[in-house]
Amino acid sequence: MTQANKGFLGRLREQLGKTRSNLVDNVKRVFSGHTQINDDVYDELEEILVEADFGVELSLALVDEMRTAVRQRRLQNPDELYAVLKEELVAALEPGDHTLRFAADGGPHVTLVVGVNGSGKTTTIGKLASHLKQQGKTVMLAAADTFRAAAVEQLTIWSERVDIPIIRHQDGADPAAVAFDATDAAIARGIDCLLIDTAGRLHTKVNLMEELRKIQRVIGKRYPEAPHDVLLVLDATTGQNGLQQAKVFTEALNVTGLIVTKLDGTAKGGVAVAIQRQLGIPIKYIGVGEGVEDLQPFSAVDYVEAIFT
């Protein structure tokens, strides 16, 4: 672990340490409770992975990979198996671009933030805005959730907290128009980063998904490269439906990354690993609390460490 990562990892551990999570205890039990690798170890490993929301399919696949690794590498004890598992998971999480894709032409970097209801989009935007501002960037928010009661007010309060401008219309206004105006304003004012909040929507609502496509299209009309990033916000407590969410959102939009929120609870967000593996969508940030500072850039090694240590 490098020095630079220590703060992040420390924070994550601290959050995870609020209660001794089941997973940690389980892992310890499996890997230190057995002196050799037998079927019990594999069974318990399966249980741990399933309970971390990796999904049955991925859990079984991982266990199979472990069996193969044990055979091929002639592993003797559970500790070695544990190291291989961590390697596998890091390898699964690492591919892809885990940072924002800042505009090459110096124009504003436009990020569209999407997700199902209650995943934490607005809070994440507030935290992300603060994070970007701390990096010395000028940031602007766009309140394109014109549907949910008081969503615009919620984002406005965040803009006041972080002390950055916000573009907003009336409740019930066309969200694509808000996005267009905001893109326009960001260009005119020479803003570095524009973060666009959208209404939460279930991926099964065809019309609402079409609305998102329209928003993406309309932004592109004003600024052909934009949006540079489309971030899907995923609640870490989500089960296997997360995979379906990611699939449908990816089909509708050019999703460039995931933000996994609420990792400060006891949920492990294993479905994000399934999403990365199956759809190749990298995690860009993780949310570990409600404070402004509780959004962390993603690191595969730290993520896996935080799950298992």
Partner 1 sequence: MFESLSQRLERAFKNLRGQGKLTEKNMKDSLREIRMALLEADVNYKVVKQFIEDVQAAAVGQNVLESIQPGQQIVKIVHDELIRVMGGANEPLRFADAPPTVIMLVGLQGQGKTTTAGKLALHLKKKGHRPLLVGADVYRPAAIRQLEVVAQQAGVESFSLGEQADPVDTCLMSRGEAQMRNCDVILLDTAGRLHVNEEMMAEVRRIHAQMKPHEILFVANAMTGQDAVNSARQFNEALPLTGVILTQMDGDARGGAAISLTHVTGRPIKFVGTGEKLDALDAFHPSRMADQILGMGDIVSLVEKAQETVDQEKALAFQEKARKANWDLEDFLGQMQQLKKMGSISDLVTKIPGMSKMMGSAGMDLEEDEFRHMEAIILSMTPKERHNPKIINGSRRRRIADGSGMALQDVNRLLKDFEQTRKMMKSMMKGKGPLGRAKGKRGKLPKGVGPFPGM
Under the binding rule (CB under 8 A), the answer on residue 293 touching partner 1 is no
Number of residues that bind partner 1 (CB under 8 A): 52
Segment contacting partner 1 by CB under 8 A, of 84-92, 190-198, 217-225, 232-240: 232-240
- Are the C-beta atoms of residues 250 and 230 closer than 8 Å to each other? no
Comparison of 239 and 280: residue with beta carbon closer to partner 1: 239
Backbone φ, ψ for residue 201 (5° rounding): -150, 140
Residues 208-227 contacting partner 1, CB under 8 A: none
Q: Nearest-CA neighbor of 235 among 279, 277, 286?
A: 286
Comparison of 104 and 149: residue with beta carbon closer to partner 1: 149
In angstroms, give the least distance from the CB of 241 to partner 1. 4
For strand 193-198 and strand 229-235, is the pairing parallel, antiparallel, or unpaired? unpaired
Residues 6+ positions from 248 with CB-CB distance below 8 Å: 203, 204, 209
- Are the C-beta atoms of residues 133 and 189 closer than 8 Å to each other? no
Comparison of 33 and 239: residue with beta carbon closer to partner 1: 239
The pattern of x and - marking residues 1 through 20 that bind partner 1 according to CB under 8 A reads -----------------xx-
Q: Which of 146, 183, 198, 238 binds partner 1 (CB under 8 A)?
A: 238
Under the binding rule (CB under 8 A), the answer on residue 154 touching partner 1 is yes
Under the binding rule (CB under 8 A), the answer on residue 138 touching partner 1 is no
Instruction: State how far the Cα of 305 lies from the Cα of 290, in Å rounded to an integer.
Output: 22
The b/e string for 173-207 (b: 16+ C-beta within 10 A; e otherwise) is: bebbebbbbbbebbbeeebbbbbbbbbbbebeeee
Residues in contact with partner 1 by CB under 8 A are 18-19, 22, 47, 50-53, 55-57, 116-120, 123, 147-151, 153-154, 156-158, 161, 202-207, 235-242, 244-245, 262, 264-268, 271, 290
